[in-house]
Amino acid sequence: MKKVITYGTFDLFHVGHLNILRRAKELGDYLIVAVSSDAFNAQKGKKAYHSDQDRMAILKAIKYVDEVILEESWDQKIKDVQEHDVDVFVMGDDWKGQFDFLKDYCEVVYLPRTEGISTTKIKDDLKDK
Ligand code: C2G
């Protein structure tokens, strides 16, 4: 079984998130999604609208996703890849190059982002309503 992992906040879930999950799953047979905890988001300088519990529940309901874990630090990726026996690490290409250290442990794939949509854009667009 070819296992894929990806990481993110996935706040205000949108089609950009859905597209990367669909494409990540196409790279293997089993997709693990590591969802940034509220505490870790604070470290990233992000405040999600939905709690980490609600974001995890939404991801668990998506047909491409087989397992959901919490992302609580920048440093857990190597351990996650080893413990979950991951073959492919996937991120959107806004992160291109940032996780190349994982190439010693698994395949690293950066996929093109979906243009025209982001959680920030949603928030900004709704502000002007
Ligand atoms: N994404 C995308 N297209 C968009 C928006 C997001 O492909 N229009 C992708 C991002 O590239 C990322 C994933 O969706 O791979 C999740 O995006 P975010 O929730 O914004 O994740 P981020 O805050 O970048 O957290 O350790 C890694 C971090 O946890 C990533």
pLDDT in tens, 11-47: 999 999 999 999 999 999 999 999 999 999 999 899 9
Confidence band for 128, pLDDT divided at 50, 70 and 90: confident
* Whether residue 20 has its Cβ less than 6 Å from ligand 1: yes
* First-last CA distance in the chain: 47
Q: What residues have CB less than 8 Å from 32, skipping those under 6 apart?
A: 3, 4, 5, 6, 66, 67, 68, 69, 80, 84, 86
For residue 129, indicate whether it is catalytic.
no
For residue 103, indicate whether it is catalytic.
no
**Complex confidence, ipTM:** 0.98
Q: Is 115 helix (H, G, I), strand (E, B) or coil?
A: coil
> What is the model's pTM?
0.97
Query: Which one of 2, 3, 25, 44 is the catalytic residue?
Result: 44
Q: How far is the CA of 129 from the centre of ligand 1 (A)?
A: 25
CATH 1.10.620.20 for domain 1-126:
no
Here the tokens at position 116 are 């025209």
Handedness of CA 86, 18, 59, 75 (dihedral sign): positive
The pLDDT value recorded for residue 64 is 98
Strand partners, 76: none
